[in-house]
Chains A and B, each alone.
Chain A
Amino acid sequence: MGVVLAVVVSVVTLWLGMTGQLVLYIHPRYVVFTMVMAALALLIALAAIATRASHDHDEPPRRRWISTIGLALAGLVAAVLLLVPPATLTSSTAIQRDISNSGVGIGSQTVDAAPSASLHFSVLDWASLLNQTNDPAFYRDRSADVTGFVTAAPDDPDVFYVSRFVITCCAVDAQPVGVPVYSPGWQDSFDPDDWVRVTGDFTSNPSPVSTAPIALTPDAVTAMEEPDDPYLF
Chain B
Amino acid sequence: MSPKRLVWLVGGVLGILALFALRAATAEADVSLPNQLQDLLTLAISVIVESMPFVILGIVLSIVVQEWVPDSWIMRVLPRNPFLRRAAISFLGVFLPVCECGNVPLARGLIVKGFTVSESMTFLVAAPIINPITIATTHAAFGWDSGILVARVIGGFAIANLIGWLYSRHHDQDSLLTERFAAECRVPQHHEHGGARLQKSLELFVREAGVIMPALFIGSLVAGAIQVLVPRDVLVSLGSNPLWSVLAMIVLAFVISVCSNVDAFFILPFASTFLPGSIVTFLLFGPIIDIKMLALLRTTFTTRVLVQLTLVVGLSSALIGLVVNFVF
Residues of A within 8 A of B (CB): 1-3, 5-16, 19, 22, 24-27, 30, 33-34, 36-38, 40-42, 44-55, 57-60, 62, 70-71, 73-74, 76-78, 80-93, 96-98, 101-106, 166, 168-173, 175, 193
Docked pose: A78 CA to B6 CA in angstroms: 27
Binary per-residue interface labels of chain B (33-72) against chain A in the complex, 1 for a CB within 8 Å, 0 otherwise: 1011011011111111110111011001000000000000
Known: A6-B56, A169-B50. A50 touches B206 (CB 8 A): no
B199: chain A residues at CB < 8 Å are: 51, 53
**B208 located at the interface, meaning its Cβ lies under 8 Å from any Cβ of chain A in the complex:** yes
* Residue contact B269 to A168, C-beta cutoff 8 Å: yes
* Residue contact A83 to B202, C-beta cutoff 8 Å: no
* Residue contact A83 to B258, C-beta cutoff 8 Å: no
Which of B11, B35, B227 has a CB less than 8 Å from the CB of A49?
B11
Q: How far is the CB of B11 from chain A (nearest CB, A)?
A: 7
The 9 closest A-B pairs by CB, nearest first: A2-B210, A37-B53, A2-B209, A171-B46, A49-B12, A53-B202, A50-B9, A92-B35, A5-B213
**B187 located at the interface, meaning its Cβ lies under 8 Å from any Cβ of chain A in the complex:** yes
Which of A33, A53, A102 has a CB less than 8 Å from the CB of B206?
A53
Which of A3, A22, A73, A92 has a CB less than 8 Å from the CB of B210?
A3
Interface segment among B217-225, B277-285, B307-315: the answer is B217-225
- The residue among B42, B183, B220 with the most chain A CB atoms within 10 A of its own CB is B42
B46: chain A residues at CB < 8 Å are: 25-26, 170-172
Give the interface SS of chain A, mostly helix, strand, loop or mixed. Answer: helix
* Residue contact B209 to A3, C-beta cutoff 8 Å: yes
Docked pose: A15 CA to B8 CA in angstroms: 23
Known: A71-B214, A173-B266. A33 touches B50 (CB 8 A): no
* Residue contact B50 to A57, C-beta cutoff 8 Å: no
**Cross-chain pairs A/B with CB under 8 angstroms, 6 sampled:** A15-B23, A30-B262, A45-B12, A50-B5, A74-B218, A103-B269
Docked pose: A113 CA to B38 CA in angstroms: 38
Query: How many CB-defined contacts (below 8 Å) exist between A and B?
Result: 249
**B20 located at the interface, meaning its Cβ lies under 8 Å from any Cβ of chain A in the complex:** yes
* Residue contact A85 to B13, C-beta cutoff 8 Å: no
**B192 located at the interface, meaning its Cβ lies under 8 Å from any Cβ of chain A in the complex:** no
**B194 located at the interface, meaning its Cβ lies under 8 Å from any Cβ of chain A in the complex:** no
Binary per-residue interface labels of chain B (6-41) against chain A in the complex, 1 for a CB within 8 Å, 0 otherwise: 101101110110011011101111010101101101
* Residue contact A49 to B31, C-beta cutoff 8 Å: no
Binary per-residue interface labels of chain B (266-280) against chain A in the complex, 1 for a CB within 8 Å, 0 otherwise: 101110110000000
Q: How far is the CB of A200 from chain B (nearest CB, A)?
A: 27
B273: chain A residues at CB < 8 Å are: 103
A50: chain B residues at CB < 8 Å are: 1, 5-6, 8-9, 12
Q: How far is the CB of A209 from chain B (nearest CB, A)?
A: 19
Residues of B within 8 A of A (CB): 1, 5-6, 8-9, 11-13, 15-16, 19-20, 22-24, 26-29, 31, 33, 35-36, 38-39, 41-50, 52-54, 56-57, 60, 179-180, 183-184, 187, 199, 202-214, 217-218, 220-221, 223, 227-228, 231-233, 236, 256-258, 262-263, 265-266, 268-270, 272-273
Docked pose: A53 CA to B208 CA in angstroms: 12
Whose C-beta in chain A lies nearest to the C-beta of B18?
Answer: A11
* Residue contact B26 to A85, C-beta cutoff 8 Å: yes
Docked pose: A44 CA to B61 CA in angstroms: 13
Known: A46-B12, A172-B266. A77 touches B22 (CB 8 A): no
* Residue contact B202 to A47, C-beta cutoff 8 Å: yes
A51: chain B residues at CB < 8 Å are: 5, 8, 199, 202
Docked pose: A228 CA to B187 CA in angstroms: 52
Docked pose: A36 CA to B35 CA in angstroms: 32
A2: chain B residues at CB < 8 Å are: 206-214
Whose C-beta in chain A lies nearest to the C-beta of B236?
Answer: A98
Which of A8, A42, A80, A173 has a CB less than 8 Å from the CB of B258?
A173
Which of B42, B184, B209 has a CB less than 8 Å from the CB of A57?
B184
Q: How far is the CB of A124 from chain B (nearest CB, A)?
A: 11
Q: How far is the CB of A71 from chain B (nearest CB, A)?
A: 6
A104: chain B residues at CB < 8 Å are: 269, 272
B269: chain A residues at CB < 8 Å are: 102-106, 166, 168, 173, 175
Q: How far is the CB of A104 from chain B (nearest CB, A)?
A: 7
A90: chain B residues at CB < 8 Å are: 35, 38-39
* Residue contact A77 to B221, C-beta cutoff 8 Å: yes
* Residue contact B218 to A171, C-beta cutoff 8 Å: no
* Other contacts beyond A2-B213, A173-B258: 9, CB < 8 A: A27-B265, A55-B207, A81-B45, A82-B22, A83-B22, A89-B39, A97-B232, A170-B258, A175-B269
